[in-house]
Amino acid sequence: MDLTSLNVAIVGCGNIAGAYAKTLKPYPQIKLLGATDIDLARAEAYVAAHGGKVYPSLEAILEDPEVDLVINLTIHHAHAEVITKCLNAGKDVYSEKPLALTSEDALRLVKLAEEKGRRLSSAPITIMGEAQQTAWKAIRDGRLGTVRLAYAEVNWGRIESWHPSPGPFYEVGPLFDVGVYPLTILTTIFGPARHITAFGKVLYPDRVTKEGVEFHISTPDFAVAAIEFENGEVARLTTNFYVGHHSKQRGIEFHGDKGSLYLSDWQNFQAAVEFSEFGGHYEPVPYVKEPYQGTEWSRGVVDLAEAIQQHRPQRITGAQAAHVVDILCGIQTSFREGKPVSLTSNFKQPEPMDWAR
């Protein structure tokens, strides 16, 4: 591989794949060679819109010596199998979230990547956003004093109201689909989680797709967890597929001895960042850098490409993604069994972006 370039191929041409292609375009050092999908018609439409060639199968991608990195955008349930095949074929992997659906699979993938000497990275990467980096810097700089508590809210609405294929989302539930976003931010800032107490419930079991097809869900569409981190911080995480995006409970609040910080959105890079001294009023915090408008979905791929070139760890690693999966599974176990859960998995916290130090 030319250290100034990275050749990538995409497996899975669903809803998010277009956003990856569009946000990769400004980076000529990353070349999209093509894509595949179990529905080849989708792959054909995808490459017609974004370039490259149609690979007839995942195996065809893995047999192509020109492909350096596979971007795995398949459905949640396929992630572990696809990543395993890619690593065994000697390819680096960047995967959509979650890395896997069980702690065992996630930790196995990290071990496999190490054994094969390959890079493994995973969404979500929104901690790399300008707003999120601004919030993290304020915390690192001690503006809040010792931070002891965080509230993270994920009110993600009713998937069937906007997504053409809601089934896989309800099979895994909001924890594994969108709980990963604030958890990746929280673990980046606080480090590993150690203790969890949780509650989960199916709030709204009978639903109707946009096409009028009725369906029933059995995976909890609501979960709330109290999470204690290794250094003593506590976070309350709430996730659901019921309350709409318009909820006034959103984003992440960090509360410290000297003050509080509010990040209005854990996804979009131009989210509001506000600070209040204890007992005071919230005021805007200037961004460390002019923010990208929306979410630059490919930022993790770009960081991975730069990490390969600079011979450094990528910022979001498979180990951190696996620890987040371990938290998700711990939350599930806690609310299913009605008891607290302890975790032992570890990861090394990432470095801030160079422009946010």
**Residue range 99-140, pLDDT digits in tens:** 999 999 999 999 999 999 999 999 999 999 999 999 999 999
CATH architecture of residue range(s) 6-125: 3-Layer(aba) Sandwich (3.40)
The confidence band for 145, taking pLDDT boundaries of 50, 70 and 90, is: very high
**CATH number of 126-297+321-356, picked from 1.10.3720.10, 3.30.360.10, 3.40.190.10, 3.30.1050.10:** 3.30.360.10
CB atoms within 10 A of CB 286: 7
- What tokens appear for 215 in the block? 């369906």
Q: Say whether pLDDT at 1 is over 70.
A: no
From 161, 217, 237, 199, select the one nearest 341 (Cα to Cα).
Answer: 199
pLDDT of residue 165: 87
Can you give the residue ranges of every domain in the chain? 6-125, 126-297+321-356
Which residues are 239's β-sheet partners? Answer: 154, 223
From 62, 52, 50, select the one nearest 22 (Cα to Cα).
Answer: 50
pLDDT of residue 121: 98
pTM: 0.96
pLDDT of residue 164: 86
Q: Is the dihedral of CA 165, 154, 301, 317 positive or negative?
A: negative
Reported for 24-27, long-range contacts at CB under 8 A and 24+ positions apart, including other chains, are 24/298, 24/301, 24/302, 27/298, 27/302, 27/305
**Residue range 276-322, pLDDT digits in tens:** 999 999 999 999 999 999 999 999 999 999 999 999 999 999 999 99
CA distances from 320 to 53, 78, 125, 249, 354 (A): 33, 20, 11, 27, 20
